[in-house]
Amino acid sequence: RSFITVTAAILALCYKHRMKHIQQVLTCPAENASSGTDEDRHLQQLTRTQEFRRHLLADVCAKYQPGIIQRRVSQQQVSRVYVEDRSRLLYCEVPKAGCSNWKRVLMVLGGSATSIRDIPHDAAHYSNHLRRLESYDHASIAERLRSYTKVLFIREPFERLVSAFRDKFESPNSYYHPVFGRPIISRYRTNATRTALRTGTGVTFREFIQYLLDVRRPVGMDIHWEPVSQLCNPCLLRYNFIGKFESLEDEANFLLQSIGAPRNLTFPDFKDRNPREERTSSSITQKYFDQLNATERQKAFDFYYMDYLMFNYQKPFTDLH
């Protein structure tokens, strides 16, 4: 078992029972916090955060998807999960939540690259030598799910959505403009110009949201805006480590340390896509959602509701219910 699982198990015992003899035998870390260094306290905090997130997820899953844990996992359900056998790691890819840098780290851990700095964006995505869990047979999938450290990194759902919109529609894009932009403009814009209909460039955030919320979308879902609750099947796969983009480097480095990664392998802080654009923040997100009316905002929240609930993100606007 990994360090994280063991430490978390000890903490769980300490907190649940507060039994004297257990404390004496195991020396509950939190009890001795005052005698530790700042670094120790920081690690204990990160460990407790993980425990809290796992418990919350388990509670939400028990309520909303009872019995799912007994089901057999299909290949399709692990199609977003990458495998790193040397460090016994499974990583579910969530676009717009640090996934390019995670792929770089997995490449270095697996030995297909020696340094993170040398891996360009396209190589991280298209020639990464990383294998997906779905490419294994059922027994190998089950064995890895049972014994590997399963990792998920998520991001505030509306910020992730705005980040995806800016990335795919506000910069030139030879795939998203024709494939998504064209049908979106043609369906939701009255009096669209010929140029807009031909290129699919210039989709507004409001048009994009109309597409997202349309039960009869003119073009399908996409991993960049698909809810994590569907993309990574958290109730079924029971991740051991649930990290957040909002504290990505700190939590990623904690995980790397926990799995015994080389000391000099630290999580990078590059912004790959459109590096000259400001990173999507909550104030930028607010500006985009100001373009919607109250009903649209509410429906968008409903669309990501399970992600908000499972990962303990606060309601982003006070008028939502």
Ligand X SMILES: *[C@@H]1O[C@H](CO)[C@@H](O)[C@H](O)[C@H]1NC(C)=O
Stretch of 12-20, 89-97, 127-135, 260-268 lying at the interface with ligand X (CB under 6 A): 260-268
250 forms part of the interface with ligand X (CB under 6 A):
no
In whole angstroms, give the CA distance from residue 295 to residue 301. 10
In whole angstroms, give the CA distance from residue 249 to residue 244. 9
Which sign does the torsion angle of CA 144, 149, 150, 153 carry?
Answer: negative
24 forms part of the interface with ligand X (CB under 6 A):
no
Sheet holding 131-132, edge to edge: 131-132, 81-84, 89-92, 149-154, 241-244
Radius of gyration of the chain (CA): 21
Q: Which residues in 110-129 contact ligand X (CB under 6 A)? A: 114-116
Binding test (CB under 6 A) with ligand X, winner from 174, 295, 314, 318:
295
Q: How far is the CB of 15 from ligand X (least distance, A)?
A: 36
Q: How far is the CB of 289 from ligand X (least distance, A)?
A: 13
In whole angstroms, give the CA distance from residue 266 to residue 61. 32
Binding test (CB under 6 A) with ligand X, winner from 78, 108, 133, 232:
108
- Binding mask 200-239 toward ligand X (x if CB under 6 A, else -) reads ----------x-----------------------------
Q: How far is the CB of 209 from ligand X (least distance, A)?
A: 7
190 forms part of the interface with ligand X (CB under 6 A):
yes
Q: Are strands 89-92 and 131-132 parallel, antiparallel or unpaired?
A: unpaired
DSSP H or E segment with residue 150:
strand 149-154
Contact residues toward ligand X (CB under 6 A) are 108, 114-116, 190-191, 210, 262, 264-265, 293-296
